[in-house]
Amino acid sequence: MKLICRDTVLDLGELCVMGVLNVTPDSFSDGGRYAGVAAAVARGVAMVEEGAAIIDVGGESTRPGAAAVEVREELSRVIPVIEQLVARLAIPISIDTSKPVVMAAAIAAGASLVNDVRALREPAALETVAGTDAAVCLMHMQGEPRTMQTAPTYADVVADVRRFLAQRIDACLAAGIARERLCVDPGIGFGKLPEHNLALLAAVDRLADPDIPVLVGVSRKSLVGMITGRPAGERLAGSVAFAALAIMQGAAIIRAHDVAETVDAVKVASALRRAMAGGE
């Protein structure tokens, strides 16, 4: 399995952890810590040294209740960081946004993957990415970030999410985005109750066709807090446990804040998964 991010081909048969780099003042887990360009770039470099294969730069929080960010402000947050990371690092840099203007500017600055919680459903988003050679991560979300946790409901969450992701994959293929440029994310915590999240994590291997990589992001999320009773800053152990379990269920990419610890967990889980498949 592979993911083509412009000039880089990621072999997803190997370890792949996406490091989260929020350059926002209001992220639920690390808001404000990396809001300055210098601090953000230093953190990005550090995550690569810890084993990150992708750095995901985000300039607008998508936590429930977060305030919307104007395009100009989002651009001012992410573009200088992307430019410096691209100049310093040899790995793909991802832009976490739903705004086509930001996608285009980020790709022009050197980003090679678009990570979109709305799965390219905003007007002109699909065409914007299709006109480039960037990869895209299509995420499922029920509702909108500000209100998505109000009352999410599903007939069958696994079937519903798989159907949505398949539809978005088909839309991308029809627009000219190559299959090798696509990965999907079930959107843990995005319009889902704990039981929905757990059902999806238990069914990672059934969320997309075998050649489509599945990205899982559960790092520090409320699901971990609900299970462990711990606040966002104390959810490392629970997040790492979920990362390892997601790999065992078939995830190809793990999105995480705590890169070094997640890389170790993913190495262990990957080794066990290979052994169970008869590879060792």
Catalytic position from the list 221, 235, 273, 274 = 221
* Structure confidence at residue 14 (pLDDT): 77
Q: Are 68 and 34 in contact (CB under 8 A)?
A: no
For residue 256, how many other CB atoms are within 10 A of its CB?
Answer: 30
- The CATH code of domain 2-276 reads 3.20.20.20
Catalytic position from the list 118, 255, 267, 273 = 255
Task: Give the distance between the most distant pair of CA atoms in the chain.
Answer: 52
- pLDDT mean over 198-213: 96
Does the pTM surpass 0.85? The reply is yes
The domain ranges of the chain are 2-276
State the pLDDT confidence band at 200, using cuts at 50, 70 and 90: very high
Backbone dihedral region of 187: left (phi > 0), alpha (psi from -120 to 50 degrees) or beta? Answer: left
> Is 221 one of the annotated active-site residues of the chain?
yes
What is the overall mean pLDDT for the chain?
92
Query: pLDDT of 48-80, one tens digit each?
Result: 999 999 999 999 987 766 678 899 999 999 999
* Structure confidence at residue 35 (pLDDT): 61
> Is 99 one of the annotated active-site residues of the chain?
no
